[in-house]
């Protein structure tokens, strides 16, 4: 059976890396069109060299393309503001949407945590790069012992933060914080992003802190390590940076609802790094690589559901 026809809106770094991943790696998705707004963009030129149809007319140009009728899934790699209109237009035409912006119109999608649960949705949101890297860890702790509070710090190279990332810093923190709760399962969540100007550029680093009920540390470690391997199945550069750390913390020092001052909580600290696959972007841009890798996985899940419905 032929692959599901898909399109990418956005010919910047993320859209171009996604294009190359779909063309090289996916046996389920068939890239039919790449959409931009700058006819001189490197992404559109590269798409043309790969024999993929292109338009510099934005969403309106996509609708006018002869390929549009057969397209089933559209990946939006533009901005949170632009996505609102894109989603409204694409819904009118019955297209499914994978949103790589922080717009969060549809439910959050983190493939290793809830990929199967959201495969029937019309629009799904990939949270943020920090969310894709850290929410699986929060969920891994939470399936062993309740997580009362989770805080994540995502540090990315300044060179891998393009105009879209910089324009959406507020959306990054808000969207990631919400997803730590709704997908990760924590009672409270907080997200911080750091743009690191170091030279040479450092690869993406992520720190996850969880305050949870005391639990068997070996079981928690096993759950985290299992989740890391699950993410690595589609993001090969995802790995633990050092051993998982456990520390008892008095509840009096961490005001958690429902806990008395004398109770002890367990603080779990997990340190990760994400190295990019180097398909289009340098290896230090793991923050972009994990987003495009997650998008391919979600798109393939959607395509499988569409094929099952036809059968």
Q: Which residues are catalytic?
A: 129
Are the C-beta atoms of residues 51 and 12 closer than 8 Å to each other?
no
With b for 16 or more beta-carbon neighbours within 10 A and e for fewer, the 128-159 pattern comes to bbbbbbbbbbbbbbbebbebbbbbbbbbbbeb
The CB density around residue 299, as the number of other CB atoms within 10 Å, is 24
Using DSSP bridges, classify how beta strands 264-274 and 245-250 pair: parallel, antiparallel or unpaired: antiparallel
Query: CA dihedral defined by 41, 155, 228, 248, rounded to 10 degrees?
Result: -160
* Rounded Cα–Cα distance for residues 96 and 307 (Å): 14
């Amino acid at each position: 059976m032929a692959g599901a026809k898909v399109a990418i809106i956005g010919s910047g770094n993320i859209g171009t890396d996604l294009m190359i991943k779909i063309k090289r790696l996916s046996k389920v998705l068939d890239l039919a069109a790449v959409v931009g707004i700058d006819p001189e963009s490197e992404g559109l030129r590269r798409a043309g060299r790969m024999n993929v149809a292109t338009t510099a007319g934005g969403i309106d140009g996509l609708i006018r393309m002869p390929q549009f009728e057969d397209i089933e899934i559209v990946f939006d790699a533009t901005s949170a503001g632009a996505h609102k209109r894109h989603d409204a237009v694409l819904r009118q035409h019955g297209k499914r949407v994978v949103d790589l912006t922080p717009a969060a119109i549809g439910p959050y999608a983190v493939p290793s945590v809830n990929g199967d649960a959201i495969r029937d949705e019309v629009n799904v949101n990939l949270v943020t790069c920090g969310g894709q890297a850290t929410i699986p860890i929060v969920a891994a702790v939470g399936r062993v012992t309740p997580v009362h509070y989770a805080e994540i710090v995502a540090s990315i190279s300044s060179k891998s933060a393009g105009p879209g990332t910089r324009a959406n810093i507020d959306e990054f923190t808000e969207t990631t914080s919400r997803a730590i709760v709704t997908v990760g399962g924590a009672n409270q969540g907080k997200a911080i992003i750091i743009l690191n100007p170091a030279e040479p550029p450092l690869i993406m680093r992520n720190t996850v802190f969880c305050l949870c009920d005391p639990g068997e540390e070996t079981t928690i470690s096993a759950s985290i390590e299992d989740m890391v391997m699950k993410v690595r199945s589609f993001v090969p550069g995802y790995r633990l940076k050092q051993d998982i750390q456990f520390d008892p913390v008095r509840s009096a020092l961490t005001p958690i609802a429902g806990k008395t001052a004398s109770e002890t909580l367990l603080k779990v600290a997990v340190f990760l790094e994400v190295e990019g696959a180097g398909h289009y972007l340098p290896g230090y841009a793991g923050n972009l690589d994990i987003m495009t890798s997650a998008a391919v996985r979600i798109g393939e899940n959607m395509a499988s559901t569409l094929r099952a419905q036809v059968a």
